[in-house]
Structure 1
């Protein structure tokens, strides 16, 4: 099989697995899109760990938020077509026996709104009662924002705003906000012993707090125990468009049926004013842990782990750092160097002795545990539990093992069980005792691990990091003994505080380009995450400085050291910040060395585009302030003399539109109308300049997409356009003979019966 965009987009997409406490059964959903029927199908499945057998439990239901009640029964949410949500309860054994229609699952309750992020906590040893919490929209008066209320229309479509933010991600902000709703799931002594959901109460009514935090918030923003809720929310005193500051709140509940919640109490973290996430309880419910950043306005600051005791009705709640030195300056035997990493998510181990943390490191998403016992060195000990691939979730099992979900550049989904109970181990890989791959480690796609490698090239600023890491993906047919050369595709990531990692993507998948016949090089230049916080922070006031020079150094190194890579036939592609870099490269010397460029949702002009963005704190931080105040040239910025721009403000120094006279390389521009992170005017302006200057160019627009292209048919058209464009300029065969003037290029004619639904994405979102 040749790995193509069609294969990528039609391959089954498996969700993160949800194991029962014993680790014997794993629930997951699997969605598949057919380009023949133009429809998506969804299956709820269970995987038996001992045998590796997978069984279908339900089909074509919008099921989410799987929660085990015991080792056999589970609860989940189902989105109904009328905009409401049902809470289902089912038994695995009954599902597999299918002894009686309807006996395996039933509706335990209905929520008259679009609800998600279900979490449960057992209230008694026998499992007769569970505390329940979901996230659902609330009206300004605190009542549930139901489909009827959402459908109400006035004669005028106008909306008047008096504060930021006006729009967020892909929608104009309305009057509803996300809220947490609590209740109880109880087993009835009649009705066959079925569970029934109580009425739900708005936990945040009258508080001006919103949880989950938009636009991507989910269960990582709150947790539940027998006695209450721990959650994070943006500071209600500050405008969310100008600030990232979040607070951590504890809401204690004596009765999960009480109609009014007490006021949530804030957990105080002195000196920390930034964003926070991943609040979690230990199993006893007397301790909480969470991640918090120090700097307000900087969404890529280092996440620091905190822990707090919440037992005994304390009047004041104050957290302490998990590591004695929050910079991570802690060395242990077996771990080399300083642990200067930024955890993405944390949880307590089953016994409460460890914190489990996922963090980016050197192009991987790894799992670590941090021992909390006082006998550990300095009271803390960090241990790496996984090595390869990219961990997306980690769930502790009751016996001390950890169930892990992840992916790699060649495998779209793998599950593993890591046995972290051993005091010592020769390597992290030795801790994995069981694994299961959705694609047989990529072989179902014709991909192989040996296609992926790494290179390290000179950094622009060796005082921070001496070398820059890049991931290299070669064609599966690559023969190192052959003298054949391949064109090079340089992929520049978004963020800019992001990275390319050993993880699967359905939007930017390096293997798609490699299987067209490219050597793909994906650099992690200055500003990338997973290489130390100083390296990440160094991009501030420096967007077109060190990162650009890192890419120049990489390009030169490849030309001198990789004879199989034909730099004379090179192209560059990027989205978001990567799109900005395409426009920046256009105006500088490196742009003349590429045969073609592809700019997806990139920045054309700071003054225009960045002032129209939804989260203004981002440019105000990254560009060193506001454009109406010029703090002068900063000596800390490693500005290259070739730019000769020390008299310009930061907003002009790195602005691509300051260098339009140099634009001459063929460029494909892609932008979507519902992208409110970077308005479509940025793409139109770039295309207009290219056309007016007589430069070969194309403009691809999706009126129904946001900063990401998510719909399968749109994504396929995106890939067709991109591959046809770059292949043409490097002399590779055209990807598809369908011309853009044909209906087939765009997926054919859409009928009224077609249900083209969005598919879920994997991996972290780009900024």
Structure 2
């Protein structure tokens, strides 16, 4: 499944194969991954499960089936995957990697959809199996295909959190199920053909929606650990999720013990990424301090003995509670001997792997970053080692030019690239020299701001030294607002797509951005249109004054979510007159409408209180205060299923622009949420967005002239 193109276009990006992170088998000789491709000719998606030979980098298709998903290793040469049925059932299929030698077989059948599969080989040779499924109030798996259809579509609510992300909430919630896969006569089968609900009768729900998955729980020889929202707190107001432990001896218990909470005094926010140690007695995980700040700094913690959950130790703890490591740890991997942890965290527009001792008392210095390929780490796994003192990691990365790269990373040597889906961007006509970074003084000159720069693939500093050729500026403003532009691949906001149209793309990480320390990130609180806006003004001025290849008189700016808010804010400010066109995707029209969102803890934190107790804070940075200044042509994009920022925010902005006779256009998707994910919709999105900015920047005129020249040459 390969794709080669001389020019990187939206069609190329959206139809290119999308590889999932690779997972090595127990011996470390093979890696398993899923890949999908979309054809705009056939208007169909195709999917494969593939096996990669790590030494030779050759791969072959193991399964080619649209209904097959979530492959996991059962042994060195056997793979289990899920196969969905038309009636909502899920079959567990086992297949040998040498598929031509043996036929796949069924290891069990579940009468409902399941997902988030994890397996763990137990000391007795059996395999513990865990997954998640939507569950009814009586603790049974929910199958929408067999559900009795009501005569009315009415929904009645008497509490907060009536909808989330893109779904109206119901009584059904996520739950974790477990079972045992036993081998008989050379074949695996699910014992008693059933799974047990680990959370039945607990009022707990895991994984945590909307984005929770396998990272929300783990299997060990002692049982299950998982994170779940505190059932005593309103999920619309508080972010608190706790870590729980369920002791299991055989994974065949029909009535599991009640979950035991892991106590973390002083830390009351999100818990994430629980991982058992190799010995199965310890658990490492992350937890935030604030229970109303979704982007608070995660702290790394250790449970020294899971059988004694009353004790958890914090790494880099400080007396003031701020924590000594000013980074945001995410995923966690134990070393073979359990003496070290490998932890991913953002750092200056990349996601890196950091190494540290696995015992908090031994962390006398800050973690060191391992050498990894260009870009950002998305997944890491241990490879088999001759002895427990050596750790080789199988790492998946992406970058601004490469959508998937598998490599072997060692703590003390340079990484070895095994396989790149796009040959390090060459298949797309992209290359590393087109990527650059700049640093400029932020608002007030008290700090520096970092930005990524992506130039067209045909740009040459040598050829451009005469300064005759200038490229219009395309400024991309990220969402979050506690987020960042990373050296990482995206099919929704890919800077290279814009650069290949003929722009110099600048992606600033202003106040509020992650990966540059908590002072810069937290500086946006109560400052939505303040420091971040001034950073962007400084960015524009620095680029125009220091990058001679940039034409600031033909600049355009685009943003989504908080970036969409900033577009609307810029529209009413002096910077708005510097741009020829603006694009606002799912943006905030008025901050006074933030309580139409679902996660109310977000505005409560960022605007320093509730709408009714601190209304002036919401009014201060309200883009709707400056509607009389709106004058720059603007494209508005919004979707009906966006419950984070309801579509009325987009409609209001569009109506104002139209009423003021400002050139404007509305693009609406009735079947998308905060993100545009469906390939055909995404293609329309790109065509409309590029068409809009190209029209006002003059690139459309240049493209037409070039086409006319080509036609004359042909004649």
Which of 393, 399, 412 is the matching residue for 1:402?
Answer: 393
The question of 1:390 aligning with 2:390 is answered no
Counterpart residue number, 2:134: 137
Tell me how far 1:461 sits from its aligned partner. 4.7
Which of 488, 505, 516 is the matching residue for 1:503?
Answer: 488
Quote the Cα distance in structure 1 between the aligned partners of 2:680 and 2:619: 38
Residues 478-527 of structure 1: per-residue CA shift (max 9 Å, x gap): 12132200001000000000000100000000000100000000000000
The question of 1:356 aligning with 2:356 is answered no
Tell me how far 1:398 sits from its aligned partner. 3.1
Quote the Cα distance in structure 2 between the aligned partners of 1:375 and 1:576: 41
Counterpart residue number, 2:437: 454
Quote the Cα distance in structure 2 between the aligned partners of 1:620 and 1:380: 33
Counterpart residue number, 2:693: 726
Residues 714-750 of structure 1: per-residue CA shift (max 9 Å, x gap): 000000000110000011127999xxxxxxxxxxxxx
SS of 1:733's equivalent in the other structure is helix
Tell me how far 1:572 sits from its aligned partner. 0.1
Counterpart residue number, 2:315: 322
Tell me how far 1:112 sits from its aligned partner. 1.3
Report if the CA contact (8 A) 2:49-2:71 is conserved: no
The question of 1:517 aligning with 2:502 is answered yes
Quote the Cα distance in structure 2 between the aligned partners of 1:664 and 1:433: 52
**What is the total number of aligned residue pairs between the two structures?**
689
Report if the CA contact (8 A) 1:188-1:196 is conserved: no
Counterpart residue number, 2:658: 691
Quote the Cα distance in structure 1 between the aligned partners of 2:575 and 2:470: 21
Report if the CA contact (8 A) 1:371-1:380 is conserved: no
Quote the Cα distance in structure 2 between the aligned partners of 1:341 and 1:373: 18
Quote the Cα distance in structure 1 between the aligned partners of 2:359 and 2:617: 47
Counterpart residue number, 1:4: 9
Counterpart residue number, 1:182: 178
SS of 1:649's equivalent in the other structure is helix
Counterpart residue number, 2:44: 39
Report if the CA contact (8 A) 2:227-2:242 is conserved: yes
Report if the CA contact (8 A) 1:723-1:735 is conserved: no
SS of 1:378's equivalent in the other structure is coil
Tell me how far 1:593 sits from its aligned partner. 0.6
Counterpart residue number, 1:72: 77
Counterpart residue number, 1:277: 272
RMSD, aligned CA: 1.9
SS of 1:684's equivalent in the other structure is helix
Quote the Cα distance in structure 1 between the aligned partners of 2:543 and 2:175: 51
Counterpart residue number, 2:552: 567
Residues 257-304 of structure 1: per-residue CA shift (max 9 Å, x gap): 111111000000000110111011012110001000000110110010
How does 1:460-475 map onto structure 2 within 5 Å?
A: 460-463=443-446, 466-475=447-456
Quote the Cα distance in structure 1 between the aligned partners of 2:253 and 2:702: 61
Quote the Cα distance in structure 1 between the aligned partners of 2:499 and 2:140: 52
Report if the CA contact (8 A) 1:526-1:536 is conserved: yes
Residues 678-727 of structure 1: per-residue CA shift (max 9 Å, x gap): 00000000000000001000000000000000000000000000011000
Which of 583, 588, 610 is the matching residue for 1:626?
Answer: 610
Tell me how far 1:19 sits from its aligned partner. 0.8
Which of 621, 633, 655 is the matching residue for 1:654?
Answer: 621
Residues 644-702 of structure 1: per-residue CA shift (max 9 Å, x gap): xxxx8110000100110110000000000010000000000000000000100000000
Quote the Cα distance in structure 1 between the aligned partners of 2:117 and 2:584: 38
Tell me how far 1:381 sits from its aligned partner. 5.1
Which of 143, 151, 154 is the matching residue for 2:150?
Answer: 154
Which of 411, 415, 418 is the matching residue for 2:409?
Answer: 418
Counterpart residue number, 2:595: 611
Report if the CA contact (8 A) 1:89-1:195 is conserved: no
SS of 1:27's equivalent in the other structure is strand
Quote the Cα distance in structure 1 between the aligned partners of 2:265 and 2:625: 42
Report if the CA contact (8 A) 2:316-2:363 is conserved: no
Moved over 4 A (4+): 326-330, 373-377, 734-737
Tell me how far 1:61 sits from its aligned partner. 3.2
The structure-2 alpha-carbon separation of the partners of 1:166 and 1:347, relative to structure 1 and needing over 3 Å to count, comes to: same
The question of 1:251 aligning with 2:270 is answered no
**Gap runs ≥5 in structure 2:** 1-5, 386-390, 705-715
Quote the Cα distance in structure 1 between the aligned partners of 2:577 and 2:189: 67
Counterpart residue number, 1:757: none
**Which region of structure 1 is more displaced relative to structure 2, 37-46 or 728-737?**
728-737
The structure-2 alpha-carbon separation of the partners of 1:230 and 1:473, relative to structure 1 and needing over 3 Å to count, comes to: same
Tell me how far 1:106 sits from its aligned partner. 1.4
Quote the Cα distance in structure 2 between the aligned partners of 1:380 and 1:572: 38
**Which region of structure 1 is more displaced relative to structure 2, 397-406 or 48-57?**
397-406
- What TM-score, normalized by structure 1, do the two folds share? 0.87
Counterpart residue number, 1:425: none
**Gap runs ≥5 in structure 1:** 331-337, 423-429, 631-647, 738-767
The question of 1:476 aligning with 2:457 is answered yes
Quote the Cα distance in structure 1 between the aligned partners of 2:165 and 2:619: 25
**Which region of structure 1 is more displaced relative to structure 2, 217-226 or 140-149?**
140-149
Residues 509-547 of structure 1: per-residue CA shift (max 9 Å, x gap): 000010000000000000000000111111000000000
Counterpart residue number, 2:712: none
**Which region of structure 1 is more displaced relative to structure 2, 432-441 or 372-381?**
372-381
The question of 1:344 aligning with 2:339 is answered no
Counterpart residue number, 1:743: none
The structure-2 alpha-carbon separation of the partners of 1:722 and 1:326, relative to structure 1 and needing over 3 Å to count, comes to: farther
Quote the Cα distance in structure 2 between the aligned partners of 1:711 and 1:532: 35
Tell me how far 1:124 sits from its aligned partner. 3.1
The question of 1:589 aligning with 2:574 is answered yes
The structure-2 alpha-carbon separation of the partners of 1:379 and 1:252, relative to structure 1 and needing over 3 Å to count, comes to: farther
- What TM-score, normalized by structure 2, do the two folds share? 0.93
SS of 2:400's equivalent in the other structure is coil
Counterpart residue number, 1:755: none
